[in-house]
């Protein structure tokens, strides 16, 4: 998995980088076919924003979150991303099973 973390109007400190990596490990445990992850952290006045683009086979998942604290924004981002990845994984697991049931002779 390729991981890219960048910041706009803020320095990505080693502790912030470690925190993002730790939160993204949860996604990797649920779904191991993640190809590329791009995290973008930004500050605009008092709003801290975290965005992520994850490239998985056949799809690009984009999630963003804002909060007054960057760590809170990253926590919310990880929760949203976890839900999106689980939804994608369930769709991949269900793909094709309904077609077999519909075309099976009665």
Tell me the CA distances in angstroms from 106 to 94, 95, 96, 97, 98, one per residue in order.
21, 21, 18, 16, 15
Residue ranges of the chain with per-residue pLDDT less than 50: 99-100
User: What size, in residues, is the chain?
Assistant: 106
CA distance 39 to 51: 6
Task: State residue 51's pLDDT score.
Answer: 96
Return the CATH number at 99. Answer: 3.30.160.100
Confidence at residue 98, expressed as pLDDT on a 0 to 100 scale: 52
The number of distinct structural domains making up the chain is: 1
Q: 95 is in which domain, residue-wise?
A: 2-103
Rounded to two decimals, the pTM is 0.82
User: What pLDDT, on the 0 to 100 scale, is given for residue 72?
Assistant: 95
Give me 71's structure tokens. Answer: 């760590």
């Amino acid at each position: 998995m390729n991981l890219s973390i960048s910041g706009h109007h803020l320095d990505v400190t080693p502790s912030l980088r470690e925190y993002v990596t730790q939160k993204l490990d949860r996604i990797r445990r649920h779904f191991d076919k993640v190809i590329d992850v791009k995290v973008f952290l930004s500050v605009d006045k008092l709003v801290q924003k975290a965005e992520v683009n994850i490239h998985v086979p056949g799809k690009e998942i984009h999630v963003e979150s804002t909060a007054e604290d960057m760590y809170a924004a990253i926590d919310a981002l990880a929760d949203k991303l976890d839900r999106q990845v689980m939804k994608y994984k369930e769709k991949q697991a269900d793909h094709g099973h309904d077609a077999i049931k519909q075309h099976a002779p009665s």
